[in-house]
Structure 1
Amino acid sequence: MADVQNDGWWYCLRHDTVEHGAGCPNKERLGPYPDEATAARALSIAAERNDRWESDDEDERW
């Protein structure tokens, strides 16, 4: 089994950059992602998920 900490692609919130493998602590980054391009979109992916969750919450209120 692969070690995700050392093999995955991550988006570092501290340095605003993509990291591969071991890097900053996981509490300071998003991921892991399957590839560098997806990790580079981490903030957009998170924003899209937040929008969907907020929309779902609003739908449940009514």
Structure 2
Amino acid sequence: MTENDGDWWFCLKHMKVEHGPGCPNKDRMGPYDDQDAAAHALEKARERNRQWERNG
């Protein structure tokens, strides 16, 4: 597996980025294409929630 496999996750249990196998998917957000996208998963979710609340 290479770093460009698109198998990046953000673990909600440990609050950190994971690559490849890691915690169960029920505890993770993703997969993401790269490490940076996974690192910003919570920020992106907050942004989408704010947009939904404004437009909902």
TM-score tier by shorter-chain length is 0.7 to 0.9
Letter in 1 for 2:13: R
Structure (1/2) with the larger helix percentage: 1
Q: Which runs of 5 or more residues in structure 1 are unaligned?
A: 1-5, 58-62
Q: What residue in structure 1 maps to residue 25 of structure 2?
A: 26
The answer (yes or no) to whether the contact 2:6–2:33 under 8 Å persists in 1 is no
- Identity of matched residues, %: 56
Larger radius of gyration: 1
Q: RMSD across aligned C-alpha pairs, in angstroms?
A: 1.4
Structure 2: segments with no counterpart, 5+ residues: none
Give the structure, 1 or 2, with the largest relative contact order (CA under 8 Å, sep 6 or more). 2
The equivalent of 2:12 in structure 1 is: 13
Q: Output the CA distance in 2 between the equivalents of 1:19 and 1:42.
A: 12
Runs of 4+ in 1 over 4 A off after TM superposition: none
